[in-house]
Amino acid sequence: LGQEMEKEIKSLFRGGNQDEVLSEAFRLTITRKDIQTLNNLNWLNDEIINFYMNLLMERSKEKDLPAVHAFNTFFFTKLKTAGYQAVKRWTKKVDIFSVDLLLVPIHLGVHWCLAVVDFRKKTITYYDSMGGINSEACRILLQYLKQESLDKKRKEFDTNGWALLSKKSQEIPQQMNGSDCGMFACKYAECISKDKPINFTQQHMPYFRKRMAWEILHRKLL
């Protein structure tokens, strides 16, 4: 990051009116309090993750990138606890079957993970920066695809040839502290949404945090 950027980020993280609005887009509002969750070792909040996922969706409209739809951070919990009926209206204006990738942030109480549906490869893959396996989450999402297809397309979703996978800890970068899980989930999503290999490590996180603060402030990915 250049000096100008560093200066700008410093002032974002400095104290000030916590409710001051620093960025607005995608019908989301980011305040200083939200941005400060990116500072040091704070846990990212829903607002930051949702804003970032929207930036990934925006970018996916570019030529040669896979088409992406990202669900918000409340989607999976709602689906899991209240069932399909509770979320079926969430995609009223979206045809999820028309994209290449679905990104699903998954919040496990105090831990963030990511699930990815890839319609091209017919896979649902779970990414956990603490090496957890979650076949249940993948099954819930496959069931969701079946229900969504019946509801919106009036036809059966063909699950033939679909694979449900959880990435092993040696396959993807793992966090070395108790506070970067949200960052890892976001950066997994960032690489996957570009069809790029996931090759960052824990030591990149302080840089990624600052960079994400800048990206959210300017509403564009570097």
Q: Return the CATH number at 113.
A: 3.40.395.10
Residue written as tokens 């490869």? 121
Rounded-to-integer distance, Cα 216 and Cα 187, Å: 14
Residue 15: per-residue pLDDT: 83
pLDDT confidence of 194, banded at 50, 70, 90?
very high
- Check 128, 138, 180, 186 and give the catalytic one: 128
Domains identified in the chain, total number = 1
Residue 1, pLDDT > 90, answer no
How far from chain centre, in Å, is Cα 135?
19
Average pLDDT, the chain: 96
122-149 pLDDT, tens per residue? 999 999 999 999 999 999 999 999 999 9
| Structure confidence at residue 101 (pLDDT) | 99
Please state, in angstroms and rounded to a whole number, the distance separating the CA atoms of residues 5 and 47.
Answer: 22
Give the model's confidence band at 109: pLDDT under 50 very low, under 70 low, under 90 confident, else very high: confident
Each residue's pLDDT tens digit, 35-54: 999 999 999 999 999 999 99
The predicted model gives 185-207 an average pLDDT of 97
Whether residue 104 contacts residue 73, with contact meaning beta carbons closer than 8 Å, is answered with: no
Mapped onto helix, strand or coil, the DSSP state of residue 144 is helix
- What percent of the chain is predicted at pLDDT more than 70? 100
In this prediction, residue 14 carries a pLDDT of: 87
128 is catalytic: yes
Catalytic one of 34, 107, 113, 181? 181
Residues of the domain holding 206: 3-218
Q: What is the pLDDT of residue 207?
A: 96
46, 111, 191, 204: the active-site residue: 111
Q: Could you tell me if 101 and 193 are in contact, meaning their C-beta atoms sit under 8 angstroms apart?
A: yes
**How many other C-beta atoms are found inside a 10 Å radius of the C-beta of residue 165?**
16
Distance of alpha carbon 193 from alpha carbon 215, whole angstroms: 16
Catalytic, 107? Answer: no
**Tokens 């846990």 map to which residue?**
43
Cβ-proximal residues to 13 (8 Å cutoff; 6+ apart), any chain: 35, 36, 38, 39, 213
pLDDT of residue 26: 96
State phi, psi for 116 to the nearest 5 degrees. Answer: -130, 125
100 given a catalytic annotation: no
Calpha distance 148→134 (Å, rounded): 22
pLDDT band at 110 (very low <50, low <70, confident <90, very high): confident
